[in-house]
């Protein structure tokens, strides 16, 4: 039976390999998070925010001052949802790119 070695105890060829390993690990963690109950819930909430913002903005009048304030509020909420999803996608994509770089060290 093989013993699991904590990654910080591993010996890397150089600092670049260590950074690729860390990026790959974060990408895997981000993927696992999205598959978790909490990750699925938060992803669903972000999608709901985007859908609700889109629907509300389509119904509001950009020439009305009060509606413009509502549009701005919905845009802010949508931006938060988009940022959350973009951060996770970036982590996953960067992780896959790092995995590719690591395969060149083998």
Higher pLDDT, 94 or 18: 94
Q: Domain extents for the chain?
A: 13-103
Among residues 80, 72, 41, 79, the alpha carbon closest in space to that of 56 is found at 72
**Per-residue pLDDT tens digits for 18-45:** 899 999 999 999 999 999 999 999 999 9
**Does the pTM of the predicted model rise above 0.85?**
no
**Per-residue pLDDT tens digits for 71-90:** 999 999 999 999 999 999 99
Q: What is the DSSP string of 42-98?
A: HHHHHHHHHHHHHHHHHHS-TTSHHHHHHHHHHHHHHHHHHHHHHHHHHHHHHHHHH
Computed over every residue of the chain, the mean pLDDT equals: 90
Could you tell me which residues come within 8 angstroms of residue 77 by beta carbon, excluding any fewer than 6 positions away? 49, 52, 53
Taking residue 18's Cβ as centre, other Cβ atoms within 10 Å add up to 15
CA distance linking residue 33 with residue 29, whole number of Å: 6
**Per-residue pLDDT tens digits for 53-65:** 999 999 999 999 9
Confidence of residue 6 (pLDDT cuts 50, 70, 90): low
């Amino acid at each position: 039976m093989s013993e699991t070695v904590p990654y910080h105890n591993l010996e890397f060829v150089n600092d670049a390999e260590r950074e690729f390993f860390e990026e790959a690990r974060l990408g895997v963690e981000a993927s696992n998070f999205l598959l978790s109950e909490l990750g699925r819930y938060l992803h669903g909430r972000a999608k709901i925010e985007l859908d609700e913002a889109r629907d509300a903005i389509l119904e509001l009048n950009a020439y009305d001052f009060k509606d413009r304030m509502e549009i701005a509020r919905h845009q802010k909420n949508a931006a938060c949802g988009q940022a959350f999803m973009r951060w996770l996608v970036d982590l996953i994509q960067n992780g896959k790119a790092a995995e590719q770089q690591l395969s060149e060290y083998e």
